[in-house]
Structure 1
């Protein structure tokens, strides 16, 4: 077996960032790229990482996805997307900050499935918090005869761009404004491409940050509240995540989905709206390669940790 990680080709870079390394085929990503070419970093979905599930481990201990809050605090489901996002914001703000330095790595273990890989599979990623140091992905869907584990080098900011919403690093994210309107303005200024769908791009950019980055409690809460300001965000009841857990989602429909049809991007929370579970993208109208109702991809983070080097496993 070849243990040396392979550098991801350009189409894989685009794929991993646009759907936070979720289930859209590389051939389709190359055939129908979005207007903005996102860098590769996580969670994506990118997030979540405290970033994703709201609780991150340190190198000395780890956490799986957090359990739902106790029943006494979760008797009713939110009635609107705004109510859900406010609940999620309050829950995020109440969580402790996760200590980390720029020299460390964010470890995530996710479970994914989708139209092109119906059977759930697990992926591991080590993303450098400085945004530039080479990390590592181990993804069985990248496997080859010479590289059966699917090991690939992860270099988030290949172009060496200044830190931004599109190319974040640890210090940049920690310094983001916590006023929701100001934060949304920053996302629109730095994270929108030229697709002509600014609301959809803002929703996707925020979703990838909450799914795939280590965020302070205040910034995470502000991202939820900023999302509530985006026109067209709706509540979707009775959804399930990639591990089969029931939940409720906030979502936004983009007219540009896989196969030329419209698609709905969903952020899935536990049934009370307090705990983030994962993401899902669903085809809304028939396209060339996906029918309405097709789950294009779904992804949840089942374990996160801050570790000192790529390939280091959390203490379990």
Structure 2
């Protein structure tokens, strides 16, 4: 695989919250994607995705699937009234919402001010809206941790909260990207693994049940000794992770994200053309397999099901199947 590394883009590109998702409501599977000041709706059918028209979405920065569709506008948490095609406010957070991570009985919400390389004054909250709206700070993730991305992970049937943080640690006494893992039970987060730089310093990460064995793996885009970027896959081990597979530098690789159980990477080929790859599972490891189509950004796509990815761009719904 021959790719070209674009260091300037890597220096300034940052993770962005998802702007596309799928969910089920009233027995129908729906897709939604932000498109400027509009939300595009699609009804999933046997033939593909049937366009269901736009919904006004001025100021909405991210969406997520829960019991219905959630959205964020500034500090406001919203829910889509699907029959009426309009947004209703559920409640407000203490600071602007950067990410929504729905879970059982509520949602994790990351707040802060969008800055690079990590948000300013970021914090994590557990939000519930049934029977009443309630916001509780996740105290285990402190102000000095500077969280900037969240995931759910499952290990041997136990639910865990994974948080990308940015701080100094005992083994690396300068601010850097860390990966922290918390047990999540009865509305409380308890630290179970406070990883520092993984096996190599990492730029971005994703969590996915790659092998469909109920064990969420950590996939990281990491810096290599030659100044490039490579991929590593870590498998759960007791309280944390252990290395399962890794590559050396893959020139051109720039971004990584998980959509359901599918891990997607983007970058450029040796001619500077945008490319997209899927991390495919092999018996003895993993392999990056190119896709025939490249979305405008990773936050524009969502998992339609276990094998298909969907998104809205250039005025239409797009679907492509993971190899």
Query: What is the TM-score when the length of structure 2 is the normalising length?
Result: 0.27
Q: Which has the higher helix share?
A: 1
Larger Rg: 2
Q: Which has the higher contact order (CA 8 A, sep 6+)?
A: 1
